[in-house]
Structure 1
Amino acid sequence: MNDQTKIDVETGRVLATVEVKKIGNSSGLIFPKELMARLNLNVGDQLYATLTPDGGVRFTPSNPDFEKAMEVARRGMKRYHNALAELAK
């Protein structure tokens, strides 16, 4: 696939080619500027990688562990709303 390949994301097809490059002692992914713009990404943004059930990788801007912890916290706040309101006085 060449750099000219751009297929719609909504169809689940490839939008662009991402290149892996050696950067010092690490490796980095090089995103084309069109893909960066389409995904609303900027240099320095953090993405979190999680494995999908089908063996793929999903990148998201939010930390999935934090989201799980916040869900537990929300349930606790709902369950103990009255006690927390009294403590807040």
Structure 2
Amino acid sequence: METVVVRKQGNSVGVTLPAETRIRLGLEVGQELTLVEMADGIKLVKRNLKLERQMQMARETLREQADVLQELAKR
């Protein structure tokens, strides 16, 4: 388990990942990560653009078909 230190960076704070961790996870400078708040801490997840596109399409479909889905739920 690695330990990192929270440091002040301008008006925000940040952590520096060890080089070995960055390389092992395939992280690049400037790459966006998703921050997930959990009951016992936080989790950083590499963005999956393909999954994000699929989820956006699913949300749009659910919005467009809301009436049909509500009717099906009644049966």
> 1:6 maps to what in 2?
none
Identity percentage over the alignment?
33
Aligned residue for 1:70, secondary structure, equals helix
Give the gaps of 5 or more residues in structure 1: 1-13, 81-89
Aligned residue for 1:19, secondary structure, equals coil
Give the gaps of 5 or more residues in structure 2: 66-75
> 1:33 maps to what in 2?
19
1:36-58 Cα shifts (integer Å, max 9, x gaps): 01111111111111123x43322
| 1-structure distance, mates of 2:30, 2:56 | 25
**Correspondence 1:55 to 2:55:** no
| Cα distance, 1:35 vs structure 2 | 0.7
1 or 2, which has the higher helix percentage? 2
**Correspondence 1:45 to 2:34:** no
Report 1:73-88 matches (<5 A). Answer: 73=60, 76=61
| Cα distance, 1:21 vs structure 2 | 1.1
Equivalent residues, number: 60
Normalising by structure 1, we get a TM-score of 0.51
- CA RMSD between the two structures: 2.9
Aligned residue for 1:38, secondary structure, equals helix
